[in-house]
Amino acid sequence: MIALSRTIGEVRLSKGITQEKLALLAEVDRSYVGRIERGDNNVAVLTLSRLAAALDISVAKLMLKAGL
């Protein structure tokens, strides 16, 4: 899960999106996005789907980038 957390952060940064903007787009709390990216929280499937959509990437591609 750490690899997936890092990948979410890397993709977000590569797209020039702040944690706050990602949270707004994915309809989740900004602090939750931060906890996910740090690996403090496991990401729920629905949230992962929302984050991927906000990043304009499929869940499958996120998982592949994370090596999962």
Both tokens assigned to 42: 């496991």
Q: How confident is the model at residue 62 (pLDDT cuts 50, 70, 90)?
A: very high
pLDDT confidence tier of residue 55, bands split at 50, 70 and 90: very high
Average pLDDT on 24-33 reads 94
What's the domain count of the chain? 1
Evaluate if residue 64 carries a pLDDT over 90. Answer: yes
Write the CATH number for 21. 1.10.260.40
Please state the pTM of the whole predicted model: 0.85
Q: CA separation (Å) from 25 to 28, 33, 51? A: 8, 11, 8
Parent domain of 61? 2-65
**Mean predicted confidence (pLDDT) in 38-54:** 90
Sequence-distant contacts of 30-33: CB under 8 A, at least 24 apart: none
For 27, half-sphere exposure in the C-beta direction (CA atoms, 13 angstrom radius) is 5
